[in-house]
Structure 1
Amino acid sequence: MKRQWEIDALRGLMLVLMTLTHLPTRLTDPLGQPFGFVSAAEGFVLLSAYVSGLVYSRLAQRQGIGAMRRAFGKRVFKVWLAQAATLAFLFTIIAGLGVRIEQPAVTNLLTYYLAQPRDAFLSGLLLVYEPPLLDILPMYIFFMLLSPWVLGFALRHGWSGVMVLSATLWAGAQFGLSEWVYGIAASHFELSVPYGEMGSFNTFGWQFLWFAGLCIGAGRQAPDAKPLRFPNWMAALAAAVALYCLVWRHFGEHGQAPFGGDAELNLLFDKWRLGPLRLVNLVALGILALRFGPGLIERLPRLHALEAMGSASLPVFCAHLVAVLLTLALYGDNQLARPVWGDALLLAGVFAWLYAVARLALWWEGRATPPVSAAN
């Protein structure tokens, strides 16, 4: 089975958008959530889950559930090593620089670590403490740990029960389920890590996106799988929703906060809980991508740089964090800290670094023409 280069290119695009969002430059705000009230994180998680469902369900069909679970376990260990290495970089080099030059962008990022270094280090390795910017991989690891059991159950009994439970947990996340569970855990296990230091992403909300992607990917492997098609009226409705959100995002008076200072209404589009209107925006974009994407792919040239970064997405993701953290340590989080030409040089250097990491990773793994894999 050949690798789907278009999926790699899309993941590469998500990594580019994440980098542009996290690097403090003049492009941070304009290119944050560029397609409406949806960020690159949603696209990256959904694509990763889709590829996981596609690959690991085929592995289960060919070699059995046990082989599928072992493959998931190897992947989890690899991602945990990447998270541990990134944490070590943050807690040593970046923390040292930040404290030495009194850089608020770093010290504010590491408030808990600087106050409780031993507890923060150990709980960071256990994926309990998740500093800002380093909270995506722990969530990814948790979903990957659950996936072999969920996928094994779904392959035997179908996806209906799984998705009903997943949707229920997502709904609970909108009404404080995570905070309630944290309160119980803190009281019974003497949990010392504050709730606000356990990552920005609400796991109960985002698991719905992961398992939806896993379900879609696994469904593509079914012997009787039919192409995903949508009636014209649905595509037209999706286009109207996507266009409305796009205009609202870029030409509304509040930018990325759709309702300005109204915190309650903004929760409807909340990124961290994966709010309901945010999901509507994401579904609309997904329908348009499936409806018009194949035609665009036939007409557009292949972007090999994006493919390379998407194919080696784990090392490239970690490399982007290294670049962002170094920039924060040296320049702070002021988006206007450099002149325009300085931003241009910074972005050129960072993306050259990411592409070099991608090529090196692919060379190291000997994958000039790799098969489809969820390993990156």
Structure 2
Amino acid sequence: MERRWELDALRGVMLVLMTLTHLPTLFSSPFGQPFGFVSAAEGFVLLSAYMCGVVYTQREQRDGEEPMRSALLQRAFKIYLCQAALLVFLFSFIAGIGLLADQDAVKNLMSFYLERPVVAVVGSLLLLYNPPLLDILPMYIVFMLASPVLLVLGLRRGLRRGWTPVLALSVAGWFGAQFGLGRVLQAQLIALTGLPVPPQQGGAFDILAWQFLWVLGLWMGSSQAAKRPAVPQGLPHWAVLAAVAIGVAGTVWRHAVGQAAFPTLPGTAIPNMLFDKWRLGPLRMLDLFALLLLVLHFGPWLKQRLPRLRFLETLGSASLPVFCAHLVVALLALALWGEPDKERSIGIDLGILFGGFAVLYAVALISQQLDCRAAAVQKRFKERRAARLARLAATSGERRSPTSRAHSPPH
């Protein structure tokens, strides 16, 4: 697949916003959910699923189901290795710094590990125990493992007919998650293993709710790869106006009251559930769909007029290593400086930000260089293999040529 710079730039934007949110500085709150009651995580999951749908549908069309399935499983294993490396880093280096410095932020983040280290290690490798900040990649691993089945089902009986039951089942799962079904299933899964991992230690994200975003993005990407766009290019005028109204209202509301939609209203549990991030509440989804429609409608116009920001493209093109690096930087900052503190010098916060982004950009550049070298090695290997096969074919042709048989001695 030819790289699309605008998608890399969008992923870069999501990575920047997530880094600003996760680094423990005074900038984390204003940059959390900057466009309404929608965070960068929703955009990143949706965009990643879209890219997955495009890339692996093209792979299936070119090579068939088995190579597509194998490539997806290899990708899932690669992400699992990244998660395992992050867990080792957290349980060793970060735990050591946090305990030596008596850092409450670190001790709170990994409290279950400090209480039950053996259970925590085994549970984390089984993706059942997921500490804060390290609960995102496990969700990706599950989605990547499910993607071969989803793509095969979606493509099997014709694109539009095939995806209809998949999307319907996905919506049903999201609806069930709003009433706690996801947490019940999670608790049952942990109980089957016999590990004494509290369900609340399984991670903040409700996978049964978030799978809907993944399936939605996968469908859109697969549709695009099959030359049948899921969303028409010309959106109705009323839909664009409604999206603008919802997007503007959500952004103004969020920055007027904070990241909780109803922070001061008595008995706000139920109203705030409508905007809940972890279960993707209904009004949160409405805000997200409005922003998605605005991106789809104004995206081509903006692409033609906005300057290309190479910094964002570089980050987005190496999204997995940059994402992992941003977690490393966030954990280090948390271990060294703790939670955001108004009493802390603004210079320290700015230093954390600039230092963190310098590390991320360096990781992206190194990743690009490694990818280029790997691509060059693979290209040379294919060329040599093609040349060798051509020589074998030529040799075989000479042996079977009529001229050779005519001059061969009689038996």
- Alignment TM class, shorter chain as reference: over 0.9
Q: Which residue of 1 aligns with 2:129?
A: 129
Matched, 1:140 2:104: no
CA distance in 2, matches of 1:124, 1:189: 13
- In the alignment, which residue of structure 1 is the partner of 2:316? 310
Bigger shift: residues 173-182 or 329-338: 329-338
Runs of 4+ residues deviating >2 angstroms? 182-191, 223-229, 334-338, 367-370
Residues 233, 50 of structure 1: alpha-carbon distance in 2 compared, 3 angstrom cutoff: same
Aligned CA-pair RMSD: 1.6
Partner of 2:281: 275
Show the 5 A alignment for 1:207-218.
Answer: 207-218=211-222
Alpha-carbon distance between aligned partners in 1 of 2:208 and 2:228, rounded to the nearest angstrom: 32
Shift of 1:357: 0.3
Letter aligned with residue 42 of structure 1: E
Partner of 2:242: 237
The runs of 5 or more residues in structure 2 that have no matched partner are 377-411
Report whether the alignment pairs 1:185 with 2:193: no
Give per-residue Cα distances to partners, 1:131-176, cap 9 Å, x unaligned: 0000000000000000001111110131000000000000000001
* Match of residue 17 from structure 1: 17
CA distance in 2, matches of 1:175, 1:202: 11
Moved more, 24-33 or 275-284: 24-33
SS at match of 2:133: coil
Hey, what's the Cα distance between the residues in 1 that align with 2:37 and 2:373? 36
Deviation of the 1:368 alpha carbon: 11
* Equivalent residue, structure 1, for 2:263: 260
Query: One-letter code of the match for 2:30?
Result: P
Identity %: 54
Give distance in 2, aligned partners of 1:161 and 1:8: 31
Q: Distance in 2 between matches of 1:307 and 1:335?
A: 32
Q: Distance in 1 between matches of 2:189 and 2:89?
A: 29
Query: Are the equivalent residues in 1 in contact too, given 2:57–2:225 (CA < 8 A)?
Result: yes
Q: 1:291 to 1:189 in 2, by over 3 A?
A: same
Q: TM-score, normalised by structure 2?
A: 0.87
One-letter amino acid of the counterpart of residue 244, structure 1 = A
**How many Å separate the matches in 2 of 1:223 and 1:342?**
50
Match of 2:84 in 1: 84
Shift of 1:115: 0.7
Aligned pair in 2 of structure 1 residues 113, 282: CA closer, same or farther (>3 Å)?
same
Q: Secondary structure at the match of 1:301?
A: coil
Mean Cα deviation higher: 117-126 or 203-212: 117-126
Question: Are the equivalent residues in 2 in contact too, given 1:362–1:368 (CA < 8 A)?
Answer: no
Q: Verify the 8 A CA contact 1:185 1:191 in the aligned structure 2.
A: no
**Residue 285 in 1 paired to residue 291 in 2?**
yes
State the match for 2:171 in structure 1. 167
What is the deviation of 1:185? Answer: 3.3
Write the distance in 2 (CA, Å) between the matches of 1:317 and 1:264: 33
Q: Radius of gyration: which is bigger? A: 2
Counterpart Cα distance in 2 of 1:64 and 1:337: 59
**Which residue is equivalent to 1:57?**
57
Write out per-residue CA displacement over residues 210-238 of structure 1, whole angstroms, 9 at most, x where no aligned residue.
Answer: 00000000000124448533111100000
Report the equivalent of 2:202.
Answer: 198
Q: Secondary structure at the match of 2:372?
A: coil
Matched AA of 1:44:
F
Alignment match, 1:246: 251
Report the 3-state secondary structure (helix = DSSP H, G, I; strand = E; otherwise coil) of the residue aligned with 2:203: coil
**Correspondence for 2:400:** none
Letter in 2 for 1:231: P
User: Size of the alignment, in residue pairs?
Assistant: 368
Distance, in Å, in 1 between the alignment partners of 2:254 and 2:64 is: 46
2:44 is aligned with 1:44 = yes
